């Protein structure tokens, strides 16, 4: 799977905290060095792109899930 630096930083942040909900602000800090003027929308876009690359069915995500009002959670097992 080919990822941009921002996508990689986002996925790495999520994978380092499996089954924990990470806020958009936390994730924005993780990728902010890669963007000139980061916004909350940037996280949504990056999550969507990463899901398309790693989820079997991106419309029904199981690996990166949304926790409404809180953030995102990485739910995959790393072996």
What integer is the mean pLDDT of 16-23? 96
Collapsed DSSP state (helix, strand, coil) of residue 14? helix
pLDDT of residue 77: 65
Check if the beta carbon of residue 17 is closer than 8 Å to that of residue 73.
no
Tell me the C-alpha distance between 18 and 77, whole Å: 8
Q: Find which of 9-18, 30-39, 40-49 is predicted with most confidence, using mean pLDDT.
A: 9-18
pTM (2 decimals)?
A: 0.87
Neighbours of 28 (CB within 10 A): 17
Assigned CATH for 5-74: 1.10.10.10
Indicate the burial class of 33 (C-beta count within 10 angstroms; 0-12, 13-18, 19 or more). Answer: exposed
Q: What is the mean pLDDT of residues 65-71?
A: 96
- Where are the domains positioned within the chain? 5-74
């Amino acid at each position: 799977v080919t990822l941009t630096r921002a996508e990689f930083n986002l996925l790495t942040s999520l994978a380092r905290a499996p089954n924990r909900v990470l806020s958009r602000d936390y994730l924005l800090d993780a990728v902010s060095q890669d963007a000139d003027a980061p916004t909350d929308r940037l996280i949504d876009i990056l999550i969507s792109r990463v899901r398309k690359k790693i989820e079997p069915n991106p419309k029904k995500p199981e690996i990166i899930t949304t926790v409404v009002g809180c953030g995102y959670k990485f739910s995959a097992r790393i072996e």
